[in-house]
Amino acid sequence: MNPNSSWWDWDHAAAVLPSLLLDGFKITVLATVLGTLIALVLGLIVAIIRRSSPPLINAPVTWVVEFIRMTPLVVQLVFANLVLSQYINSTLAIGICVLGVHYTTYMAEVYRAGIDSVPTGQWEAATALSLPRVRTWRAVVIPQAIRNTLPALGNYAISMFKETPFFVVIYIPELVRVAQNYGSHNFRYTEAITLAGLIFLAASYPTSLLIRRLEKKLA
Amino acid sequence: MPENTAPTGTADVPHIEFRDVVKKFGDNTVLDNLNFTVSKGERVTLIGPSGSGKTTILRLVMTLEELSGGYIHIGGTPLQYQEQGGKRVRISDKRRRRTTTGIGMVFQHFNLFPNMTVMENIVEAPINVMGLKKAEAEAKAEALLDKVGMGWKKDARPNELSGGQQQRIAIARALAMDPEILLLDEVTSALDPELVGEVLAVLKDIAAETDISMLIVTHEMQFARDVSDRVMMFDQGSVIEEGLPDKIFSEPENQRTQDFLRAVL
Amino acid sequence: MDGVIGFIQDLGPNLQLVLERMPMILDGVFITLLASVLGAALALFIAFAFGLALLAKNVLVRGVARVFVEFFRGTSLVVQLFWLAFVLPQLPYPLGFQLDPLLVGVLALGLNYGAYAAEVVRGSIGSVPTGQYEAISALSLSPARGMFRIVIPQAWALMLPSLSNLWIQLLKGSAIVGTVTLYDLFFQVEQLRDRTGTWFAYSFALLAYYLIAWLIVILMNGLEIRAKHQIGRGPALKDSWRSLFRAPGSTPGGGRSARVVRDRSVAKAGTAGEGGLA
């Protein structure tokens, strides 16, 4: 046991906080935002493909989506980084893509539930009006489907935010990695890791409250 | 009065007594200073437009709703609140439960427990509340199931049965507690029209064979006429007319009652 | 793309190597299974304890549970893991002890996913129809008996799909425990990489996790079918064994209406879409 140990040292806290916020948190937020954008767009594309393509395309897409969703993000990150780092020299870009693709599989499922919840009558009405297929999707189905899915999509965005620390396995200097680096350089982890956790809490809790309110409003 | 028996009405003490009862939901006053009594063995039907507070009365007796003001007495025993030194004091949940042991309720949507068989539904409370032995409780349940014509389905699960069958089982479940008071809350409203008859037939039998006090909310006016000793017409939280069923249904005095009956009959 | 070609060319020798290294790989599988099962057991315990506390009448109990749940949901799994592994040993007496890496992994996984699952338990219990509570009251059953004999068995069927998803999340999350020196499946398979190349080693790892995830899915599907049958909603397991192999989050029975009903119950169960993490 360390005789010099203390519960909390403000000097360490003050020393680590700027780099946590200015370096680590910045990257964490960047990764969350870009990863969410990727997942939002790809997820919708996947959901539409799964809804409207023949079994020959649908079956492999479904399987790949399921495979990505049921295997660890951590393994996918290390794998993709090793394979892609010879073509892309930004580990952060690779990390963001993997995070985005991983969550695409979740968001696709959310969109799919949203599309399924649009009543059959809406499709029938569009057919009765001889609306073209693309127009039916764009003007009728997607607007209604997305409204139902907003809270779930938002929840997955928060979830991505809290999973960015998995980036530690490919050494991207996001929030937790910065905290860990400070800890190992100074032989003092308490303030750095605790502050990292509190920053996560401070950012994710209000956001999830907002989404809960949105959920109530849309219900 | 012995500790574990529910209070009963006697000749001079009303079985159910509402004294200045007020019930509010938020700012909305549903019952405003309501006073009425039900004698031992009496069958009272509440009629009136929806939203007039009839169901709320039953739910107050079952302690499913909290009183906003006033008192309810069951066989002389205060149910939710009592007066103590000029103050209105809440009665503990445990004591409330002891009083309501003698009160049974049949719901509009049956509310059978889907995770239990028909038999388990019926013996659950007799075994765990009244302390009956399993064999006793089951024998009693079989007799009740036969009475409601559902003996052949005792091992089925509720979701496998029709609404009418479920409701007959719910009636048997309520009777298994030997209630002194039975509350019937629109028991046929959720049923397909062709299933209403079987449920009402069972209830008429029970009304004829027992002297259970009953408080009934129903839209089945013929049934109300057949079983009731008294009919109370409700509107906007108060009784606007009451009397013998023949009187109320044949020659109502109040204009609102006349309008209501013309609309539903 | 030489990676892929090499992958196919070396498949035979690589599989041979896997057989040679099988004892180590199995050690890793064992650790991953152990962490996932113990973590899930702890999570389930926390879920019920705190899920019920979230519904308590007492404001203090409810408040404490709410703070616990929000804290462990909000601070991220990796932070919790590192805190237990690196911070805890540096704290003064009476803390300041080093936990066994397995315990660190199980605690972090159990606390984090248990907090999410508590929300699922709360939501499922809350979505048991009020008529059931009223019937309990009308029969004068005690609240405790009503909860354990009537409400929880029905809520159990509602919460299983979400719990199944959370358990898979937990399994996937467990791949991070190598960072706190717990030598799990992922760690052991990474040791293969020098000899087999990246493509083979990592494909093997993903496939292994995929298979373990399917074991969880099948087990949880079985529990769900049984629970639904017990509340009279759906066939017995022996009549519907094929739905054991239903992918998580996919439509039961294939019908659109079935899907909507299911979505409603899941949405009521409180968490994102299909029991997601948020």
- A201: contact with C, CB 8 A cutoff: yes
- B119: contact with C, CB 8 A cutoff: no
**Cis omega (within 30 of 0) for bond into C94:** yes
The alpha-carbon gap from C102 to the nearest alpha carbon of chain A, in Å, equals: 18
Reported as a single tens digit per residue, the pLDDT across A18-36 is: 999 999 999 999 999 999 9
CA–CA separation, B138 and B23 (whole Å): 39
Residue A190: C-alpha distances to residues A165, A197, C106 (Å): 17, 11, 21
Reported as a single tens digit per residue, the pLDDT across B139-178 is: 999 999 999 999 999 999 999 999 999 999 999 999 999 9
Angle between helices C101-126 and C22-53 (to 10 degrees): 40
* pLDDT for residue C11: 83
For residues A173-197, one letter each, b for 16 or more C-beta atoms within 10 angstroms of the residue's C-beta and e for the rest, the string is bbbbbbbbbbbeeeebbbbbbbbbb
3-class secondary-structure state, position A29: helix
* pLDDT for residue B52: 81
CA–CA separation, B32 and B257 (whole Å): 19
Chain B positions in Cβ-Cβ contact with residue C143 (cut-off 8 Å):
93
* pLDDT for residue B5: 53
> Is the Cβ pair C140, B101 closer than 8 Å?
yes
> Is the Cβ pair C77, A73 closer than 8 Å?
no
- What chain C holds in terms of domains, given with CATH numbers, is 3-269 (1.10.3720.10)
Chain C positions in Cβ-Cβ contact with residue B103 (cut-off 8 Å):
138
CA–CA separation, C242 and C233 (whole Å): 17
Q: Which amino acid is at A49?
A: I
- What chain B holds in terms of domains, given with CATH numbers, is 16-264 (3.40.50.300)
A25-29, A50-54, A176-180: which has the minimum mean pLDDT?
A50-54
Say if CB B53 and CB B22 are below 8 A apart.
no
Chain C positions in Cβ-Cβ contact with residue A74 (cut-off 8 Å):
172, 175-176, 186
**Is ipTM > 0.90 here?**
yes
CA proximity to C186, closest of A68, B199, A77, A127: A77
- C171: contact with A, CB 8 A cutoff: yes
Reported as a single tens digit per residue, the pLDDT across B60-83 is: 999 999 999 999 999 999 999 998
Taking any CB pair shorter than 8 Å as contact, residues of chain C touching chain B are 129, 131-132, 134-135, 137-143, 145, 149-150, 153-154, 230-233
Q: Please provide the average confidence, as pLDDT, over all residues in chain A.
A: 91
The alpha-carbon gap from B161 to the nearest alpha carbon of chain C, in Å, equals: 10
Average pLDDT over residues B213-218: 95
Average pLDDT over residues A35-42: 96
Say if CB B256 and CB B232 are below 8 A apart.
no
Q: Which chains touch A (3+ CB pairs under 8 A)?
A: C
Q: Which chains touch C (3+ CB pairs under 8 A)?
A: A, B
3-class secondary-structure state, position B37: strand
CA proximity to A96, closest of A42, A20, A33: A33
Say if CB C253 and CB C175 are below 8 A apart.
no
Reported as a single tens digit per residue, the pLDDT across A66-86 is: 999 999 999 999 999 999 999
Reported as a single tens digit per residue, the pLDDT across B97-118 is: 889 999 999 999 999 999 999 9
**Side-chain-side CA neighbours of residue C154 (13 Å):** 24
- B112: contact with C, CB 8 A cutoff: yes
Reported as a single tens digit per residue, the pLDDT across C88-120 is: 999 888 888 899 999 999 999 999 999 999 999
